[in-house]
């Protein structure tokens, strides 16, 4: 049984809390938020103690692993301190994305976990779906063949204007991670960006990448899109065929290169994923399972960091008009 706690009980921390509470191999032992009005009702609902200070919770409770679901600048500015405190206290950590909006902090978190033999995961939940798992199987079975190109799009609506790079740093951990999941490490990046009328943030981006394998990839990203329609599309072409994952988990289609027959895997209405919230369940269940097994983790800190390295490269590329080398 893994004793877990959640730090940050806003919208997303509540989702983590719910899925830990439903996992038969995890025991939710405490919740922490610096705002008592945020944590008190949730702690009461789940019958666990509420803390308003991370260090106090770590000192007092028997905890194996924590989720860090804080937010902050570019939705990642508050992750570093509580995640670092948990690692220093010898806890495994699942941090929300982005691992940090500050690349130095992200690197330090990964380094600290490694030095202390602890498991650090990032909530890269968009790839924790049956559709992505089936697509991965097509790849490992050799049906896809060597990856040639990846065509990724992630578009949602977010009017937040708090930073010029909010769209890039807060959102694209997900899309770059999915690209890396199928295409492998990324070595070169080039980006163009566009502000929607009236916006101060670079709310649209067109990002080209080259993978270490030599394969090429592209991301179209936007914070000016509808939430009433699909938010994501991932197309991966290999030497033996091409697949498309529609809208994170709704449909996988595979087009074999040498056959007119295609494979279609729909999200079943019986037993399939009910909604986006269940990507968190899959991710958290896997975290619990893999921490209990001593690792390694899918969606690791290294992978979360690699995605942020690509994002920083894209930002530098757009600022300087360059093609950037990255350790992504």
Ligand X SMILES: NC(=O)c1ccc[n+]([C@@H]2O[C@H](COP(=O)([O-])OP(=O)(O)OC[C@H]3O[C@@H](n4cnc5c(N)ncnc54)[C@H](O)[C@@H]3O)[C@@H](O)[C@H]2O)c1
Query: Which range in 74-82, 131-139, 154-162, 303-311 contacts ligand X by CB under 6 A?
Result: 74-82
Q: Is 303 in the site for ligand X (CB under 6 A)?
A: no
Tell me, what DSSP letter sits at residue 265?
Answer: E
Task: Supply 301's token pair.
Answer: 């800190």
Q: How far is the CB of 240 from ligand X (least distance, A)?
A: 32
3-state percent helix, strand, coil for the chain, nearest multiple of 5: 35, 25, 35
Residue 99 beta carbon to ligand X: minimum distance, rounded to whole angstroms: 9
Q: Does 309 bind ligand X (CB under 6 A)?
A: no
Measured from the CB of residue 128, what is the shortest distance to ligand X in angstroms? Answer: 10
Q: Is 102 in the site for ligand X (CB under 6 A)?
A: no
Q: Does position 196 bind ligand X by CB under 6 A? A: no
Nearest approach in angstroms of CB 215 to ligand X is 26
Closest CB 97 distance from ligand X, rounded Å: 5
Residue 100 Cα distances to 78, 88, 222, 322, angstroms: 8, 17, 20, 24
- Taking CB under 6 A as the binding criterion, the range among 23-31, 32-40, 144-152, 256-264 that sits at the site for ligand X is 32-40
* Calpha distance 167→98 (Å, rounded): 11
Q: To the nearest whole angstrom, how small is the minimum distance from the Cβ of residue 243 to ligand X?
A: 22
- The 105-144 contact track toward ligand X, x by CB under 6 A, reads ------------------x-x-------------------
Contact flag: residue 172 with ligand X (CB under 6 A) = no
Question: How crowded is the C-beta side of 177, counted as CA atoms within 13 Å?
Answer: 29
Candidates 242, 200, 235; CA nearest to 220 is 235
Q: Which of 71, 148, 196, 292 binds ligand X (CB under 6 A)?
A: 71
How far from 258 is each of 223, 234, 242, 277, CA to CA, in Å?
38, 21, 11, 37
Mark 235-274 with x for binding to ligand X (rule: CB under 6 A) and - for no binding: ----------------------------------------
Taking CB under 6 A as the rule, does residue 81 contact ligand X?
yes
What is the torsion angle, in degrees rounded to the nearest 10, for the CA atoms of residue 11, residue 12, residue 17 and residue 23? Answer: 130
Cβ-based neighbours of 294, under 8 Å, separated by 6 or more = none
Backbone angles phi, psi at 250, to 5 degrees: -75, -40
- The closest residue (CB) to ligand X is 10
Q: Supply 298's token pair.
A: 């899918």
89 binds ligand X (CB under 6 A): no
- Work out how close the CB of 46 gets to ligand X at its nearest, in angstroms, rounded to a whole number: 16
Which residue in the set 30, 78, 244, 267 belongs to the binding site for ligand X (CB under 6 A)? 78
Is the four-CA dihedral 227, 208, 99, 133 of positive or negative sign? Answer: positive
User: 241 vs 304, which CB is nearer to ligand X?
Assistant: 304
Q: Which two tokens stand for residue 288?
A: 């619990």
Structure-token match 């190109």, residue found = 149
Comparison of 21 and 216: residue with beta carbon closer to ligand X? 21
How far apart are CB 264 and ligand X at their closest, in Å? Answer: 26
Asked if residue 2 lies in contact with residue 288, where contact means CB atoms within 8 angstroms, the answer is yes
The binding site for ligand X (CB under 6 A) comprises: 7-13, 32-35, 38, 54, 69-71, 75-76, 78, 81-82, 96-97, 123, 125, 170
């Amino acid at each position: 049984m893994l004793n877990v706690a959640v730090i940050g009980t806003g919208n997303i921390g509540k989702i983590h809390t719910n899925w830990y509470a439903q996992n038969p191999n995890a025991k939710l032992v405490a919740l922490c938020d610096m705002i008592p009005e945020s944590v008190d009702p949730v702690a009461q609902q789940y019958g666990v103690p509420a803390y308003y200070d991370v260090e106090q919770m770590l000192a007092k409770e028997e905890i194996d692993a924590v989720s860090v679901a804080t937010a902050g600048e570019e939705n990642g500015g508050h992750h570093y301190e509580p995640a670092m405190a948990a690692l220093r206290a010898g806890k495994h950590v699942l941090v929300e994305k982005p691992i940090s909006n500050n690349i130095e902090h992200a690197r330090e978190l990964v380094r600290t976990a490694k030095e202390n033999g602890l498991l650090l995961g990032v909530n890269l939940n968009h790839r924790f779906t049956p559709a992505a798992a089936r697509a991965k199987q097509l790849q490992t079975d050799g049906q896809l063949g060597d990856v040639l190109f990846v065509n990724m799009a992630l578009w949602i609506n977010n009017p937040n204007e708090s930073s010029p790079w909010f769209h890039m740093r807060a959102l694209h951990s997900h899309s770059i991670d999915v690209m890396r999941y199928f295409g492998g490490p990324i070595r070169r990046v080039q980006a163009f960006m566009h502000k929607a009328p009236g916006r101060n943030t670079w709310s649209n981006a067109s990002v080209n990448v080259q993978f270490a394998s030599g394969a090429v990839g592209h991301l179209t990203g936007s914070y000016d899109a509808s939430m009433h329609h699909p938010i994501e599309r991932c197309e991966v072409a290999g030497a033996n065929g091409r697949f498309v994952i529609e809208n994170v988990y709704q449909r996988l289609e595979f087009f074999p290169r040498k056959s007119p027959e295609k494979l279609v895997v729909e999200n079943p209405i019986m037993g399939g994923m009910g909604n986006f919230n269940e990507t968190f369940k899959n991710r958290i269940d896997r975290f619990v399972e893999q921490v209990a097994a001593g690792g390694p983790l899918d969606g690791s800190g290294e992978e979360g960091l690699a995605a942020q390295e690509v994002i920083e490269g894209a930002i530098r590329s757009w600022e300087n008009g360059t093609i950037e080398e990255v350790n992504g």
